[in-house]
Amino acid sequence: MLWRSNWVKQRRKLINTLCFSSLHTHFSPKPNQINELSQQRASPKPPLTHEDVYSRLQESTPDLKTLTFSLSCAKQNNYFHDDRAFNHMVNVVVRLTHQHKSIDRVIEVLIVNGCVIKPRVLLLLLEILWRGHVYDKAIEVYKGMSRFGYVPNTRAMNMMMDVLFKANLVDRALEVFEGIGVRNFFSFDIALPHLCSGKDLVRVKVVLKMMIREGFYPNGERFGQVLGVFCGRGCVAEGFQVVGLMISSGVSVSVNVWSMLVSGFFRSGEPRKAVDLFNKMGCEPNLVTYTSLIKGFMDYGMVDEAFSAVRIVQSKGLAPDIVLVNVMIHTFTRLGRFQEARNVFLNSLKKGELVADQYTFATILSSLCVSRDFDLGITIGTETELDLVMGNSLINYLCKVGNTLAALKVFRDMSNKDLALDCYTYTGFLTALCQGEAPRDALNMYYEIIKRKKNISLDAHFHTVMIDSLVELGEYSTAIRLFNRCILEKHELDVVSYTVAVKGLVRGRRIEEACSLLSKMKEDGVMPNRRTYRTIISGLCEEKDKDRLKKVVWECIEEGVELDPNTKFKVLCFLSRYPKDCYEFRSVFEKWKEDVDVSNSYNELSISTG
């Protein structure tokens, strides 16, 4: 069964013309039909106009009659519904499917009412549901096609592929894609952006190759999207292949393309090549190119290079935009130059030419948290709609300033917005619950989240926050039970998780178990760091457990983990009471004494909490 394709209006017109010409040139009526035909010619039905159809659709009730009318129009050879008519039909069909529970029932009712179910009927239903984003019902229509013995044409399959992609059924979408007998330009132009937004590089590559092999070229916009996906993942080699295709298909290589390639090299871990390309690029770099450079240099600790790029921007008189402002806030924050980060934030927004966006707030909030100086003297982001990262950042900030109620409110707002909450969000949520002295609720929510959010990968932070909160609340045994359960259930844990558990054991005065855990973590392939050793060594000094202390200190030295001056000082103080035991450490202790500024350490000791 061959169906007419009417993807775009031009195409429609073209096909209409073809239909007419075939009618007039090849149609030779049988003698007994001539009469009928000439009669028709004598009193021709006035052709349908979109205006007439639309006003009849609007007046028509009930829904079933409206649908029948709409279908009868579509059955006429040279009539195609316009956007208005389709949009009107969306609600009609949605109401009918609700009323009759399923598409199959709607079709049965149509048949009972004398409607002949032709391919075009199903195609129209499919298109209505497709435009109305009613994906599950669109799928039902598609299934209905094969039940009626119709083989869907390219257009129907393109639509179905789009529906399946939008319903996030990527594999089924690709099955449809592969099943299309003769793919057209749109088959590819639909598949590519979906695969791009899914960051599915392998399939983007495969589909792009097929597209070219089958004689189609993406337009400039689509090329840019594909290039963006490759560069965004640091696949510059593929990026250059795409650029080659762009050139050969006559799409001009803009400064955007160069900018993408430059940032692509940074992302692929090749800052040198990024710079080479920047120096060789075939057009004048713009603010975006410089922003890529500045960010890239900072990512590789090339601070001088980053600032010389900033100076070039200034000397060229390029006015910073909000993205560059955000990058600068981030840059100063990373360098610990918090005051300058604030100045960029405050000065850039003062004039009102630039408006802070979600990135700005996420960055400055994090900057305030890192600097531990929370008072910016402005209210934050009340007019900016929350997005995922800004919300996460805000929850984190509010927890840090102790406003847990506000943090929980942000969490609630985020949940109501149906953002795809991630492990940052849930970690912040648990922190707020614990700090708001609702640890029981937090623990219940913790288990709930694990049970119900199997699609979110919960990382070590998530588990660690819960364990640490319990420790901080003095619930040592609950904390340790939770930690052990994480081990059993093979949740992701890292050195911080183990350190927190060690801290719980130390605080719970279970020093022997703390030492066993130290050994166990190494067996588990998690290497203790200076904070782990600091935690356990402080505990051993407190417990005055000289023998275990000596053993752990030796391990620490042998593993080459450098302790902080404070902890060194504690060890020196404690062991100095046992001169004989100090002998074996003498060379190490000599060095330590150089590092430990005694007057300073006394001060630090008084505020140290371990």
CA distance 380 to 364: 10
CA distance 193 to 171: 15
CB of 506 to DNA, least distance (A): 11
CB of 24 to DNA, least distance (A): 40
CB of 378 to DNA, least distance (A): 17
Cβ-based nearer residue to DNA, 67 or 410: 410
CA distance 498 to 264: 36
Supply φ then ψ for residue 339, to 5 degrees.
Answer: -65, -40
Residue 199 CB partners (closer than 8 Å, separation 6+)? 229, 232, 233
Element (H, E) at 266: helix 255-267
Cβ-based nearer residue to DNA, 387 or 581: 387
CB of 260 to DNA, least distance (A): 4
CA separation (Å) from 138 to 1, 66, 124, 128?
A: 20, 19, 10, 8
Cβ-based nearer residue to DNA, 67 or 229: 229
CB of 157 to DNA, least distance (A): 22
CB of 497 to DNA, least distance (A): 6
Cβ-based nearer residue to DNA, 106 or 500: 500
Judged by the rule CB under 7 A, the positions of this chain that interact with DNA are 193, 196-197, 221, 224-225, 228, 231-232, 254-256, 259-260, 263, 286-289, 291-292, 295, 321-324, 326-327, 330, 357-363, 365-366, 369-370, 387-390, 392-393, 396, 422-424, 427, 459-462, 464-465, 468, 494-497, 499-500, 503, 529, 531-532
CB of 327 to DNA, least distance (A): 5
CB of 384 to DNA, least distance (A): 9
Cβ-based nearer residue to DNA, 468 or 475: 468
Cβ-based nearer residue to DNA, 489 or 547: 489
Cβ-based nearer residue to DNA, 156 or 507: 507
Cβ-based nearer residue to DNA, 28 or 455: 455
| Spatial CA neighbour of 74 closest among 118, 135, 110 | 118
Q: Would you call 575 helix, strand, or coil by DSSP?
A: helix
CB of 505 to DNA, least distance (A): 13
| Spatial CA neighbour of 404 closest among 366, 361, 374, 434 | 434
DSSP letters, 78-96, are: T----HHHHHHHHHHHHHH
Cβ-based nearer residue to DNA, 128 or 465: 465
Across 222-251, b (16+ Cβ under 10 Å) vs e yields bbbbbbbbbbbebbbebbbbbbebbeeeeb
DSSP letters, 225-242, are: HHHHHHHHTT-HHHHHHH
Give the torsion through C-alpha atoms of 563, 566, 570, 576, to 10 deg.
80
Across 14-45, b (16+ Cβ under 10 Å) vs e yields eebeeeeeeeeeeeeeeeeeeeeeeeeeeeee
CA distance 363 to 384: 14
Cβ-based nearer residue to DNA, 15 or 436: 436
CB of 599 to DNA, least distance (A): 26
